[in-house]
Chains A and B, each alone.
Chain A
Amino acid sequence: MTDLVPRQSGGLSALRGRLSFIDLVQSLGLMAVILLGSLVMTTLSPVFATVRNIENVLQSATIIAVVAIGQTFVILVSGIDLSVASVLVLSSVLSVGLVQFQGFPPEVAIVAALVAGLGVGMINGLAVTKLRIPPLIATLATMTIARGFAYIYSGGTNIAPVPKIFVELQASRIFGIPGVIVLTLVLAGIAQIVLSRTRFGRSVYATGGNPLAARLAGIKTERVIIVAFMISGLMSAVAGLLITARFEAGAATAAQGMELAVIAAVVIGGVSLFGGEGNMGSMLLGVLLLGLVQNAVNLLNVPPNWDSVVSGLVIAAAAALDVYRRNYLEAGMRKKVIATKAGKQPKPS
């Protein structure tokens, strides 16, 4: 057996292998916006460039980021998962409630919360592939149902106190960096390796890029889609554990509307809503940018009611940029395609 992750194709050559030039521009563009924004913020607010504030921004971004890792898989197969925030809440209340109400050991509660996430993901995947319900509708249904169960189970209020393991997770530091940030980066790293280095990852891109061609090449596209939804469910459940740790409660009422923030972050991060295009690196930059905007809004004392307007404008700007980029790219491709297509096809019917 050969080296699973050949060293020589890491680094820049890996970027060249997976990312086209345009993708690179997208990542660099996001990075430039983030750096520029940070510079401006440093001059505007004395608090911004403090370790404490940066850590705070990153910590709050971790929950969105972990959900977004799963969402990226779903969007890459040209689906969408609206149930993520509800799964997160369900996982959070289960992780505490099973200990508090049923007296299970915390480890069992955690595994049960993750299994619940996988289960909802599987239901989503089956509904989309076997019942052919559009992903938007299928996950809208499970979103409502999962949150409903979370309310029923918790009685609609937060469950506290949390088992010690969550307090330890929140307080943990690895080389001085908060453990949850390290965990998020590790998860994103694994996800990126899965995408770029495994058969499943390649199948994800092919299924999202052209499902018919993928099927005709022998890829079990339905299975790929189901697994993508299961990853999304699992990641949302993991994020549910993180939110339990952060709030020190089984958070029954948290994450209202978070699914939209996650989708926005993923799209800002260059993952195409049409599927087949995107990677974890730029996606994380998208999450970071949204987090920074939120932070800026807080630090600059923008009236709280305005912060969603500002976030919305950022999303609109990013989406417009993405469409512009895509059109620019496709205009170049189309010229060639038309030239060749019309070449020997006098019957364009």
Chain B
Amino acid sequence: MSVADRAASPLHDEAPRAVLVARGITKSFPGVLALDNVDFDVRSGEVTALLGENGAGKSTLIKMMAGFYAPDSGEITVDGAVLHADPSSAHHIGVATIHQDAHLVPAMSVAENIMLGRWPTRYGWLQMKRQREKAAAALARVAPHLNPSTPAGRLSSADQQLVEIARAISEDSRVLIMDEPTTSLSPPEIDRLFAVVEDLKSKGLSIVFVSHWLDEVFRIADRVTVLRDGRLVGSRPISELDHDKVIRMMVGREVRDTVISKRPVGDVVLRVSNLSRENVLSNISFEVRAGEIVGMSGLVGAGRSELASCIFGIDPYDSGSVEIGGEAIRPNDPKAAIEAGIGLVPEDRRRQALVGLMSVKSNVTLSLLDRISNFGFLNMAREREIADREIKALAVKTPSSNTRVSTLSGGNQQKVVLARWLARKPKLLILDEPTKGIDVGAKSEISELILRLAEGGMAILLISSELPEILTLTDRVLVMRSGRISASLTREEATSETIMSFATTG
């Protein structure tokens, strides 16, 4: 859309006016400043792309605009009306949010979902006809191909998204926030979505568009706003920018290039060949050698955790193979993977690794039950010995080994998960975001531990969204994008810019 078109629009005579204005937004969570004095404007009839690395503060800002969080300081207004920290306030003043996953009631019809909670009634009786009419009016603008009486659960995710947009229109929303709306869409569905967005924009609606894909951003956005580490980096018209400039705005920081003495690298431990899983992973091949730390970079949803799940046997795969020391391991069987010598420190330790009700000791030995039992009976003395040894080796801060693991801090919980694997001495250790959600002190302890393990000859696959972690620890970096390995970079080639660029484009 050109400037001339915009000027011709009856709503604005000159530059587009700001509809949503956020001023001085600061939000901290215990231990971290998520947003630091951020100003953010959404102009009428524009698509504003909100960009930033994982953890830059985008989600916090979106949740604030949707009324889920209150800022510690600062204020958000929509056409002068103040937004209160309450989702219904956001709806009331005209901010609608389309979340990554559709929020529809699957058993209700499209029409009922569009009118969700605002069903027209008279004397308490639902007025089906008026509901259908209102819903149909909204549907006609974004998804004329949908039948208002179809149950929403039967629609494709793309159509469900359109229903959500129709709901936003029927509420007379002025600002539409779309949080990574294209992640689960096919290319034709993306085209259709973008056509709808163009149409809404031409009718004066303002759109905030969050996406990791720069190609999409350059297709649809009029303006780009970049956050980094909770701060506003800048907000500029798309015409002033190109891919490289945007990436530099996103990465920006100085990355200290600590030189690590190169470790001697041994035989191939892990060999993944042509691994594919429908709609998730396609044709993944790589190797990790003994004593080598291979980093795996990419954006959230690029398929990194999914790959780890396939290697470790949590999820099945359609084709390809995973070998440890030259021997293929049985797919979809974590026990086989463990016995072959793989350890996994998963991303969500509370959900995937720890049994919260159990003691620290029992959690450490959970994957060692075969080694601490004779004829099915646990050798409690041996269990205690192993647990105490590992707790001491990793300096886990816990009142006793009988303490419930859920009462420990995040860093110490992570150490318990690490202790579990170190006690088994795996040949390959997969670490998925090992320092996520833990404090700085524990973070550096874990980094040092990773280096020490590699020096001891363990092969390590380190999945991390934190570029500094990848750049300082790894010997080689694999970059994933949309279920493929888009680049394999040596230490020398890997920089924030190259990684970001392979993660977002190409």
Contacts and interface: CB of A to CB of B under 8 A. Distances in A.
B354 A197 contact: no
B376 A213 contact: no
Interface in B333-377: 334-335, 338-339, 344, 346, 350-359, 362, 366-367, 369-370, 373-374, 376-377
A213 B355 contact: yes
A217 B363 CA distance: 9
Contact of B351 (A5, A9, A213): A213
B407 A333 contact: yes
Nearest to B349: A213
Interface string B405-419: 011111101000000
A325 interface: no
A209 B55 CA distance: 30
B484 interface: no
Nearest to A274: B357
Interface string B456-500: 000000000000000000000000000000000000000000000
A174 interface: no
Given A206-B366, A216-B346, A349-B59, A337 B335 contact: no
A9 B355 contact: no
A176 interface: no
Nearest to B379: A2
B253 to A, nearest CB: 15
B204 to A, nearest CB: 29
A1 B374 contact: yes
B354 A198 contact: no
A10 B226 CA distance: 62
A210 B29 contact: no
B32 A344 contact: yes
Contacts of B350: 337
A340 B439 CA distance: 8
Contact of B376 (A1, A198, A349): A198
Contact of A346 (B29, B314, B356): B29
B187 interface: no
A198 B373 contact: yes
Nearest to B336: A218
A46 interface: no
A173 interface: no
A218 B339 CA distance: 9
Contacts of B354: 210, 213
A17 interface: yes
A43 interface: no
A193 to B, nearest CB: 9
Contacts of B407: 332-333, 336
Contacts of A333: 356, 404, 406-407
B202 interface: no
Given A218-B334, A347-B54, A340 B353 contact: no
The listed residue with most A CB atoms (<10 A of its CB), out of B314, B334, B357, is B357
Contact of A205 (B344, B355, B370): B355
A248 B30 CA distance: 67
Nearest to A17: B402
Interface in A314-339: 332-333, 336-339
A203 interface: yes
B470 to A, nearest CB: 16
A116 B9 CA distance: 79
Contacts of A1: 374
Contact of B334 (A16, A199, A216): A216
Nearest to A277: B357
A273 B356 CA distance: 16
Contacts of A343: 29-32, 410, 437-439
A219 B162 CA distance: 43
Contacts of B358: 205-206, 209, 276
B404 A20 contact: yes
Contacts, number: 167
Interface in A97-131: none
Contact of B381 (A2, A340, A342): A2
Given A4-B374, A200-B376, A339-B30, A346 B55 contact: yes
A251 to B, nearest CB: 35
Given A199-B378, A346-B32, A341 B437 contact: yes
Nearest to B400: A16
A224 to B, nearest CB: 11
B459 to A, nearest CB: 19
A332 B403 CA distance: 14
A349 B66 CA distance: 13
Given A202-B378, A276-B357, A347 B31 contact: no
A16 B402 contact: yes
A130 to B, nearest CB: 15
B473 to A, nearest CB: 17
A20 B358 CA distance: 9
A6 interface: yes
The listed residue with most A CB atoms (<10 A of its CB), out of B35, B380, B407, B435, is B380
B58 A213 contact: no
Contacts of B295: none
B263 interface: no
A213 B352 contact: yes
The listed residue with most B CB atoms (<10 A of its CB), out of A16, A217, A219, is A217
A6 B369 CA distance: 17
A212 B352 contact: yes
Contacts of B427: none
B334 A215 contact: yes
Nearest to A206: B355
Nearest to B367: A217
Contact of A209 (B35, B355, B409): B355
A2 B382 CA distance: 10
Contacts of B29: 342-343, 345-346, 348
B445 to A, nearest CB: 14
Contacts of B369: 199, 202-203, 218-219
Given A343-B30, A346-B230, A215 B60 contact: no
A206 B443 CA distance: 28
B312 interface: yes
B176 interface: no
A345 B437 contact: yes
B193 to A, nearest CB: 20
A24 to B, nearest CB: 12
A349 B100 CA distance: 10
Contacts of A345: 29, 32, 55, 436-437
Interface string A211-230: 01111111110000000000
Contacts of B55: 345-347
A347 B58 contact: yes
Contacts of A218: 334-335, 338-339, 367, 369-370
A277 B356 CA distance: 11
Nearest to A345: B437
A216 B58 contact: no
A16 B381 CA distance: 15
Contacts of B373: 198-199
Contacts of B57: 346-347
A262 B383 CA distance: 34
Given A197-B378, A202-B366, 13 more contacts: A2-B382, A6-B380, A17-B380, A198-B377, A200-B376, A218-B367, A336-B409, A340-B439, A344-B435, A344-B436, A344-B439, A345-B436, A345-B437
14 contacts: A2-B374, A9-B381, A212-B351, A213-B351, A217-B366, A218-B334, A219-B335, A337-B406, A342-B30, A344-B436, A346-B60, A346-B230, A348-B59, A348-B63
The 10 A-B pairs of least Cβ separation, nearest first, read A340-B410, A342-B29, A346-B34, A343-B31, A209-B355, A217-B367, A218-B338, A217-B366, A349-B59, A218-B335
